[in-house]
Structure 1
């Protein structure tokens, strides 16, 4: 269902060692390897991909269609389509998603809230530990 859709390209990078203070709005794809103190929001009118790497820390709201987290987020996370939580993901805040893939080791300190369209049930996928 979600895997068949082509991913938007990552066109922007917040590199390791960078610190951004303020809100970020982006289109298509963004990868965060540094620190962000502010909200990160994708344009809701186009398909979007947000990657928060193992080295990254975000303090603020995170919002995009497809969100992949392997770092730390302190604030609410809203994935309008798919949320992938990698093994080193640490989230302190409420999480809203349409579909969720969570690997062993990921930690959420907050509520999980599925984004429902009509009467559909949320898609949950437990990722197997490949180690």
Structure 2
């Protein structure tokens, strides 16, 4: 509806109290409520992937997916091939690359922001930057 693609279902969960050590690959959707010490990335052939890092979650490593939603702590680079949503309690220590960015008041980034141009030649349309309104 309104030109938005439907989101992939969250099929995997790393629950609060769980600690994963090592790199991970996932299909479709992944929600992290626990701790991950390693890289997290969606499968290369998985178009439309979604990664959710919840408020309690801590990820120490690189993350990469199409749609990334962060409300926890990430220590490492973040690569969002489509949309990066930073919720109010998001804390990122690392460089961030994105096509479209939505950042709520309170989110922090300690690193460089690198907008990606998807499917456009140099000098054409720039990536969309959405400013989130302060919620009451």
Q: If the TM-score is normalised by the length of the shorter chain, which range does it land in?
A: over 0.9
Larger Rg: 2
Q: Which runs of 4+ in 1 moved over 4 A?
A: none
Instruction: Quote the residue 2:13 is aligned against.
Output: 13
The number of equivalent residue pairs is: 131
For residues 74-101 of structure 1, what are the alpha-carbon distances to aligned partners after superposition, in whole Å with 9 as ceiling and x for unaligned?
Answer: 0000000000000000000000000000
Contact 1:88 1:106 in 2 (8 A): yes
Contact 1:77 1:94 in 2 (8 A): yes
Contact 1:44 1:64 in 2 (8 A): no
Instruction: Quote the residue 1:123 is aligned against.
Output: 128
Structure 2 unaligned spans of 5+:
none
CA RMSD of aligned residues (A): 1.5
TM-score, normalised via structure 2 length: 0.93
For residues 84-129 of structure 1, what are the alpha-carbon distances to aligned partners after superposition, in whole Å with 9 as ceiling and x for unaligned?
Answer: 0000000000000000000000000000001113232010001011
TM-score, normalised via structure 1 length: 0.96
Structure 1 unaligned spans of 5+:
none
Higher-strand-fraction structure = 1
